[in-house]
Amino acid sequence: MTTLRSFIAVEIPPVIQQAIQHEIEPLRGALGPGLVRWVACQNLHVTLKFLGDISSETLGMLANMLTLEAGRVQSFPIRVSGLGSFPTPKRARVLWVGLHAPAELSTLQRGIESAAAKLGYAAEARPFSPHLTIGRVRQQATASDQQSIWKTFERSHIGDLGNAEISAVHLYKSELSRGGAVYTKLFSAPLKTS
């Protein structure tokens, strides 16, 4: 049985991905690759549900579930702006660019989370917080490294990077390679349109 590491997400248009890449370039230069694993701009997306390893036999069930859940939610706009980190600015593990969306995004995520749980996928313990991960702080980061990240973030500002219409949700597979993760769309389900 073949397994695929997978997740469900909405994608960000290339023009906004490139705007993010341009805006975070000073951060990348200041913090470098030794301290942060930076996400390639073409991989920027909003994860709605991380599934982990799935069997290829479950793709049909997941596609049906996504079609049903996506068809319940009206397409909606998002705005990309701001900069932050999880869990806290002084103890950053994940660096992100902010996302401002109407209630439809949370409705879509909750529907997918609930439907995935009915298919046997573990529920996410953390509350949904829409964001675009731009980098992950490396495990070996010291207290001094964390201080450096915090100070760099305090001096940084990312304004409004653009708006996009979210009209579909996607099931992706993730493959790790020497050059980083490679994401491939396995299935797309359109959201409801007027």
Gap between the terminal Cα atoms of the chain = 41
Domain ranges of the chain: 3-190
d(CA 3, CA 159): 40
What's the pTM value of the predicted model, to 2 decimals?
0.92
d(CA 80, CA 74): 19
Percent of the chain with pLDDT over 70: 99
Residue 56 has pLDDT above 70, yes or no: yes
CATH no. of 3-190: 3.90.1140.10
Structure confidence by residue, pLDDT tens digits, 128-160: 999 999 999 998 889 999 999 999 988 888 899
| Residue 168 confidence (pLDDT) | 97
| Residue 1 confidence (pLDDT) | 63
d(CA 139, CA 110): 30
Closest CA to 79 of 20, 19, 165: 165
